[in-house]
Structure formats: C-alpha cells, structure tokens
Amino acid sequence: MSINGSLAKAASPYAEALFESSQFMQIIEKTSQDLKFISDTISQSLILQKFLSNPLVVPKDKKKVLENLFNNQISPHVFNFLFILVERRRIILLNAIIESYLNLVYALELTIVADIYSAVVFTEVQKKALEKKLQSMTNSKEIKLVVNIKPELIGGFVVKIGSKVIDMSLSGQLSQIASYLNIAPL
C-alpha cells in the first residue's frame, strides 16, 4: 500500500482536508466506506481510469460521468469532494488521496497497516494468526493486512510495516545463502 513520494506529497493536503472535515462532521467511517467504494468501482474499469486521468477531457464531462456513476450511492460530502478534485484537475490523485485518507483514519484508530507479500493466498486462520502476532510485536490496537500475491517468492511471505521489512520468504533465504557463499573466504 505504498504510493509514489511525489504523488503522496501532492495528495496529502487533499486527504488531510477531507479527513478534518469528515472528523468535524463525525462521518469518518461513512467517508471511508464511500472512498473504498469509489476506488473499487474505478479500479474495475480501465476505460474509466483513462477517461478521468485524461487532461483533454473537460471537467464538465468528468463531473457528468461521476454523477451518473455515484449519484445517490455516496454521501454529498464525498461527492462534493470529487467535484473539487475534478475542477482543480486533481482527480488523477484520487488513489493517492484515498490511501492517504485511510492512513489518517488508521492512525486515529491506532491501526497499523502491514503490507504482506506472499507466494500463495492466506487462509482466514493464517491471516488471524499473523494479525495477532504482528499486534503483539508492534503493540498496536489493530492490524490491517494488505495481502499481495507474489509467486516469485516461491514460498513463505514478506511483511512490510512502514520502513521495516521482515523477510520470511524462501527466495529471500536463498538470496541470503547465495550472498553468503559469494563473499565467504575460501
């Protein structure tokens, strides 16, 4: 769940403004749900993504499409926010803004986001066990796992929390062995 540094920097003020206004209106959870819904909807259509990110498409047309897609499905607060992004030609930052907003919510809830890279899909039992272990390691109230499948890991998994990485993958262990064999004196 990491976004490009320059995108994150540009998205941060928008995410913070949305977060603060949602907090003031006491609709943080509803805003989070709306943003996840928007993200899921847009991510399912490559054509829609290209349309919204195309600078040649006038804002009026983008607003009309967003209105047709999300009218009566998201709160007016989030709807107005989308329109502001379109007007300011910042709709291209939407994914980065959503990620920044959710990180602010997680920080408020004392939730830590852990990116998990695994060779195979985790079962629910494995996810719960990993969450419990990471909770005790980080002393956090809650852990949010973002699981990404990477078959090139061969087996095992890699956990990334912020700048810390725990590599429990088979490919990582093989790399360590290879580097050890390459630098070991004969």
74 versus 1: the higher-pLDDT residue is: 74
**pLDDT in the model for residue 184:** 53
pLDDT tens figures, 141-153:
888 898 999 999 9
Q: Do both 9 and 95 map to the same domain? A: yes
pLDDT tens column, 27-69: 999 999 999 999 999 999 999 999 999 999 999 999 999 999 9
Contact 22, 35 (CB under 8 A): no
Q: Residue 1: its pLDDT value, please?
A: 46
Task: Indicate if 12 and 102 belong to the same structural domain.
Answer: yes
Looking at residues 158-168, what average pLDDT do you find?
A: 89
Give mean pLDDT, residues 8-13: 89
Residue 170 neighbours by CB distance under 10 Å: 13
Q: Are residues 126 and 92 in the same domain?
A: no
Share of the chain above pLDDT 90, in %: 64
Asked whether 12 and 104 are in contact (CB, 8 A), the reply is no
Mean pLDDT of the chain: 89
Output the six-digit token pair for 27: 């609709």
Q: Do 10 and 102 belong together in one domain?
A: yes
Q: Strand pairing partners for 143? A: 112
Phi-psi region of 23 (alpha: psi -120 to 50; beta: other; left: phi over 0): alpha
CATH of the domain at 86: 1.10.520.20
List, in order, residues 6 or more apart from 117 with CB less than 8 Å away.
Answer: 148, 149, 150, 153, 157, 158, 160, 169
Q: How many CB atoms lie within 10 A of CB 97?
A: 28
Per the structure, the complete domain to which residue 17 belongs is given by: 5-106
* Final residue of a structural domain among 89, 106, 123: 106
31, 77: one domain: yes
Q: Looking at per-residue confidence, does 186 or 91 come out higher?
A: 91
Going by pLDDT thresholds of 50, 70 and 90, the confidence category of residue 186 is very low
Q: Is residue 61 domain-shared with residue 153, that is, in the same domain? A: no
Tally the domains of the chain: 2
pTM for this model (two decimals): 0.68
Mean pLDDT value of segment 87-101: 93
What does the pLDDT average to over 114-128? 92
Q: Which of 106, 140, 165 is the last residue of a domain?
A: 106
What's residue 7's pLDDT? Answer: 79
As to burial, measured by CB atoms within 10 angstroms (0-12 exposed, 13-18 middle, 19+ buried), residue 89 is exposed
